[in-house]
Amino acid sequence: MKKDGLMQRMHDFMIEYAYGVTLCAILLMVVGCAMYTQQIKQEQSMQAAANAPEVAATATPGPTMTPVPLATAAPMQLYTTAVKRGIEAVWPVEGGVLRGFDDSTPVMWEALGCVQIHDGLDIAGEAEQAVLCAMDGTVTHTSRDALWGWRVTVAHTDGSSAVYAGLLQIAVSAGQSVRRGQTLGLLMENIPCEGEMPAHLHMELVGGEGNKKDPAGMLPDR
């Protein structure tokens, strides 16, 4: 009997405990919902206040001032690099142009047996004729190969470089400063890779950004 009474009291305790826990959980849920609802209402009120249009204060208009125009300087006359080059440069050889610059239309190179663009200027000359430096600068590179003979590259102060190809021999070296009209070397009788043409200088112009340009733009009109 005592055992049955103990079991009954434990059973009653568990029921009361469970009831208490459930009641607390319900109370917490009610309080939480109330707090959440209150928070939502506060946020909506703050949002409405933020979106409300501001009423600007009305200022008393001040006296109207008439702007006085400032004097403007006369426009400065600008000269392009090409025009300046045309005044400063000299033709490296005295002959006419045999083949012009064209970096878009491929042409047939008979000596090479292929079609490719001509990104230089071919100027007629005579074998062993002196090749002159077109503009002041510094010799940055010299080389010799079976296709072009000797080549001399001269860097100018504006960042561009002129390449003189088809030389039989040269009279300058890398690192040397040169002046316009100074002899760079002597012309070959025939440039191997342009063998279909008579004696001439193949001249290229490389801009400061690295792209090929028409050398005729740096040479004076004849």
Q: What angle do CA 155, 91, 204 make, to 5 degrees?
A: 45
Domain 83-218 fold: Glucose Permease (Domain IIA) (2.70.70)
pLDDT values of the chain reduced to their tens digit, one per residue, 222 residues:
555 666 677 777 777 766 676 766 676 666 666 665 666 566 555 554 445 444 444 444 444 444 434 333 333 333 234 444 445 899 999 999 999 999 888 877 777 778 888 999 999 999 999 999 999 999 999 999 999 999 999 999 999 999 999 999 999 999 999 999 999 999 999 999 998 899 999 999 999 888 999 999 999 988
How long a stretch of residues is the chain? 222
Dihedrals phi, psi of 210, to nearest 5 degrees: 100, 0
CA distance 164 to 91: 12
